[in-house]
Chains A and B, each alone.
Chain A
Amino acid sequence: MKVTIDGHEIEVEAGTTILQAARMIGGDVVPPAMCYYSKLKGTGGKCRCCLVEVTKGSDANPTPMPKLVASCVTGCMDGMEVNSKSSERVTEARKAVTEFLLINHPLDCPVCDQAGECDLQNLSFEHGKAQTRFIEEKRTFEPENIGDKIQLHMNRCILCQRCVQVAEQLTDYRVHGVLNRGDHAQISTMVSAAIDNEFSGNMIDVCPVGALTDKTFRFKSRVWFNKPFNAHRECTTPGCCGKVTVWMFGNEIQRVTARKDEFHEVEDFICNTCRYDKKEVSDWTIEGPRKFEKDSVINVNNYTRKMDKVVINTEKGILMGRDEDRKKISMADIDYNEKIDGTQVKK
């Protein structure tokens, strides 16, 4: 079947969705997806970020679709023509959805562990506005303990329900789900602190925002200060691939996650033992640095590229100014053995 997205033509197999076809083309035409996850069945259609305009239904029935459709759940038809980024209507709709997602989302990126690898940050960078039109009080939830390894921040949740599908499809029984409805719908457990399944940690990886974060990594480091390496180990847990990304700071492994591809989807799910308990360098065989897409903030710490030498001109500038400034700023003049009141530190 032949599909045209934003003027790019591609041959796809029957049953491919528009989003998958767009991902095959790649680049700018790929619609953002907050709830769809190709590795999990039954996801998609909820966040409405991936809305596209179908200007021609198919060769057999060329009438355009009147409404924007969710590309992640709409199958391609032969001869279909789709406008993604090139359509004014689509960009408007994406802006609208971004605004809706953000009105009740706390502005706590500076203290959020997900910052730097957050899909909502990327979405609002691309489609969001700098100002807000929402002057009301944001909706909040009571903090809740859902398990000893996973931190739930319900205020940040965008209800993509990926984590529900993880529990449904990877674990033997699901102990959490969506409670209540409307904007008070929340992810929660029936019994407090009940999430302890061996594969429950994958909820953290699939979460597009910082609603589910790793308690063993909590507040340890910003993700862009870590150096990610591909690593593997012989994992004995049935179903675990043992292939991970370890996030290092110096010689310390601060966090272990599954390997995520360019669409931030994990390549294979890993078990909780690999994720939480193997934090020694000796546990892992390091394969090499993990590469991230061009625009990722994680690349600011890019050690694969030669860094320029940093030249600080302060010293020189100060010399041309007053002497007391030099005293204040220049590190060389500070006596580190002197306390703030002037007395010497005892040796």
Chain B
Amino acid sequence: MGRKILLDKINVPGIKSYEVYRREGGYASVEKALKMTPEAIIEEVKTSGLRGRGGAGFPVGMKWSFIDKKSGKPRHLVCNADESEPGTFKDRYLMEYIPHLLIEGMITSSIALEANLSYIYIRGEYMWVFKTLERAIKEAYAAGWLGKNIQGSGYDLDLHVHCGAGAYICGEETALIESLEGKRGNPRLKPPFPAISGLWANPTVVNNVESIAAVPWIINNSGADYAAIGIGRSTGTKLISASGNIKKPGVYEIELGISVEEFINSDEYCGGMETDRPLKALVPGGSSVPILPAHLIYKTANGDDRLMTYESLSDGGFATGSMLGSGGFIVYDDRACIVRNTWNFARFYHHESCGQCTPCREGTGWLEKVLWRIENGQGREEDIELLWSIQSKIEGNTICPLGDAASWPVAAAIRHFREEFEYHVRFPEKIKNRDHFTHEPFDKVRHLVAPQNV
């Protein structure tokens, strides 16, 4: 059994309520943190090596130490609960079943940042989770963990949950801040970074739900204990939202460093493939990371075991690797059509682009239209090159990472599954049926697009 940090108490009946959570040792980290100096807490988090769980994997302690404390402006901690990445649903699970863990983490982290006003920004689609959190916050206020003079320490903290209107872009930290200020959710130009000028031009730290929820354990135990779990710079545990053609889809907490093979096949986690159809592809970290073909899933390009760590999953760069991202683990068997899947992702990014900067606004729509044509048998041979060209022109030229997120899956799909695109273009009558690979998996027709030598 892997070590559980976040989901340790998840099966305790009634853990949603304050009484049960407190009885199980909840809010101990707040008591401890109130006796520590903010610098000591930040130092502890730095030692732990905890990395941001929202996708980019930036060390949390480092992010906290960048916050501008000299200016004397009020500081804010904002929790990014706008979990919108297709394939990722870990934060929802955490907030829905053990809301007090997040609130405890928010209080402890706010103490470290000396913030007196903190926010949880939750996406509009999670309305019932929003209500769960509101109830939990009310309980925490009643028990004296929030408000003025927390537990007689002289420290004040107000915590609010803010519900967005349902936009993927508001998961980008500066767009989130804009939205929280009541404006249109457009990403800001950086610099200035939020650590200098964020919410209402005050120094702000934005962290993912899971990152903040890991802080209480680190304070209760120690940073070194947390760092002892995992391998190298990937420390601690990570929630993985497993979905796709596996026996047991769901949210799993893993110790970073287990192998991908173990994660997919062991009964403790995914439980193997759903049917006896072979594994075809894997998206290891949510829709925006590059897709991996079967031969690169269990082994990296140079033959090492592929592990569930930030480093191992990105081994080989984008040519043969991917990213851990936010942990949206999507497994495909050979019934899946990569072109259709890529189109579906492209459709999502087209719908979610904010429309502020040109390459993303126009490019995502173009990608979607071309992919739609290929998937529906109206593709042209040159469309594959066109897709490659469009994605390369979006990537890196946009204000925020949404443009990159839209182009990476397209690039990876073409890089690893080019034959499948060619098959779609050359045999339009064969792919008219939506389930075209169910009865005739691509491996059976691969010879049709193989280069012919006379």
Known: A100-B363, A136-B366. A45 touches B357 (CB 8 A): yes
- The chain A residue with its CB closest to the CB of B385 is A133
Whether B399 pairs with A185 at a CB distance below 8 angstroms is no
* A47 to B169 Cα, complex, angstroms: 18
Query: Does the CB pair A101–B397 fall under 8 Å?
Result: no
CA distance A183 to B358 in the complex (A): 9
Given A101-B362, A181-B167, A183-B364, A47 and B357 touching (CB < 8 A)?
Answer: yes
Whether A73 contacts B358 in the complex (CB less than 8 A), given A48-B398, A133-B386, A181-B167, comes out as no
CB of A184 within 8 A of CB of B355, answer: yes
- List CB contacts (< 8 Å) of B375-401 with chain A: 386, 389, 393, 396-399
Do the beta carbons of A68 and B358 come within 8 Å of each other? no
- Least CB distance from A96 to B in Å reads 4
| Known contacts A70-B189, A183-B355: A93-B397 contact under CB 8 Å | yes
CB distance from A40 to the nearest CB of B (A): 15
Contact A185 B361 (CB under 8 A): yes
Task: Tell me how many residues of A have a C-beta within 8 Å of chain B.
Answer: 35
Contacts of A103 in B (CB 8 A): 362, 366
Q: Known contacts A182-B351, A183-B350, A183-B353; is A104 also within 8 Å of B397 by CB?
A: no
Dominant secondary structure of chain B at its interface with chain A: helix
Known: A96-B393, A100-B393, A133-B386. Is A48-B357 also a contact (CB below 8 A)?
yes
Q: Does A204 contact B (CB under 8 A)?
A: no
- Cβ contacts under 8 Å, A181 to chain B: 167, 169, 352-355
Nearest to B362 among chain A residues (CB) is: A100
The CB with the most chain A CB atoms within 10 A, among B359, B369, B398, is that of: B359
Query: Is B365 an interface residue, CB under 8 A from the partner?
Result: yes
Known: A46-B356, A46-B358, A97-B358. A182 touches B397 (CB 8 A): no
Q: How far is the CB of B428 from chain A (nearest CB, A)?
A: 16
Q: How far is the CA of A178 from the CA of B386 in the complex (A)?
A: 30
Chain B residues with CB under 8 Å of A270's CB are none
Q: Which of A59-85 contact B (CB under 8 A)?
A: 67-68, 70, 73
Q: Is A313 an interface residue (CB 8 A)?
A: no
Q: Are B366 and A46 in contact (CB under 8 A)?
A: no
Contact B355 A97 (CB under 8 A): no
User: Does B160 interact with chain A (Cβ within 8 Å)?
Assistant: no
| Interface flag for A29 (CB, 8 Å) | no
Which B residues are in CB contact (< 8 Å) with A180? Answer: 355
Is A51 in the interface zone, CB < 8 Å from B? yes
Q: For the complex, what is the distance from the CA of A44 to the CA of B365, rounded to whole Å?
A: 23
Given contacts A100-B358, A103-B362, contact A46 B399 (CB under 8 A): yes
- Digitize A161-189: 1 where CB-to-B-CB distance is under 8 Å, 0 elsewhere: 10000000000000001101111110000
Q: Which residue of B lies closest to A45 (CB)?
A: B189
Most chain B beta-carbon contacts within 10 A, residue among A49, A100, A177? A100
Inter-chain contact B352/A182, CB cutoff 8 Å: yes
CB <8 Å contact, A134 and B355: no
Find the residue from A51, A92, A158, A183 having the highest chain B CB count within 10 A. A183
Say yes or no for B295: interface residue by CB 8 A criterion: no
Residue in chain B with minimal CB distance to A73:
B189
Q: From the candidates B357, B373, B389, name the one contacting A46 in the complex (CB within 8 A).
A: B357
Q: How far is the CB of A17 from chain B (nearest CB, A)?
A: 11
Report whether A48 and B358 are in contact in the complex, using a CB–CB cutoff of 8 Å: yes
User: What separation, in Å, do the CA atoms of A336 and B80 have in the docked complex?
Assistant: 80
Chain B residues, CB < 8 A from A178: 184, 355
B354 to chain A, nearest CB (A): 5
Asked if B399 and A139 sit within 8 Å, CB to CB, the answer is no
The CA-CA distance from A68 to B355 in the complex, in Å, is 20
| Closest beta carbon of chain A to B316's beta carbon, Å | 19
Chain B residues, CB < 8 A from A49? 358
Knowing A45-B357, A182-B352 are in contact, say whether A97-B397 is a contact too (CB < 8 A). Answer: yes
Q: Is A209 among interface residues, defined by CB-CB distance under 8 A?
A: no
Within 8 A of B (CB), among A74-126: 92-93, 96-97, 99-101, 103-104
Cα A70 to Cα B356 in complex, Å, equals: 14
Instruction: State whether A182 touches B396 (Cβ < 8 A).
Output: no
Contact, CB under 8 Å: B355 / A185: yes
Measured between beta carbons, the chain B residues less than 8 angstroms from A92 are: 393
- Return the CB mask of A245-257 against B: 1 if under 8 Å, else 0: 0000000000000
Contacts of A158 in B (CB 8 A): 358
Considering only CB atoms, which chain B residue lies closest to A51 in the complex? Answer: B397
In whole Å, how far is A35's beta carbon from the nearest beta carbon of chain B? Answer: 9
Give Cα distance in the complex from A110 to B180, angstroms.
45
Q: Which residues of A contact B354 (CB under 8 A)?
A: 181-182, 185
Q: Mark B156-173, 1 if CB is under 8 A from A, else 0.
A: 000000000001010000
* Residue A154, interface by CB 8 Å: no
With a cutoff of 8 Å between Cβ atoms, the chain B residues found around residue A182 in the complex are 350-355, 361, 364-365
Output the least CB separation between B299 and chain A (Å): 30
Q: How far is the CA of A249 from the CA of B239 in the complex (A)?
A: 71
What distance in Å separates the Cβ of B361 from its nearest Cβ neighbour in chain A? Answer: 5
Query: Pick the contact of A136 from B357, B359, B369 — CB < 8 Å?
Result: B369
Given the interface pairs A45-B399, A51-B397, the reply to whether A159 lies near B359 with Cβ below 8 Å is no
Tell me the bound Cα distance from A67 to B399 in angstroms. 11
Known contacts A48-B398, A67-B396, A96 near B359 by CB under 8 Å: yes
Query: What is the bound-complex CA distance between A182 and B355, given in angstroms?
Result: 4
- Return the chain A residue nearest B355 by Cβ: A185
11 A-B residue pairings within 8 Å (CB atoms): A46-B357, A93-B397, A96-B397, A97-B397, A100-B358, A134-B366, A139-B365, A181-B169, A181-B353, A183-B350, A184-B355
Chain B residues with CB under 8 Å of chain A are 167, 169, 184, 189, 350-359, 361-366, 369-370, 373, 386, 389, 393, 396-399
Given contacts A104-B362, A182-B351, A185-B354, 10 further A-B contacts (CB under 8 A): A48-B357, A49-B358, A96-B393, A100-B358, A100-B359, A100-B366, A103-B366, A133-B386, A158-B358, A182-B364
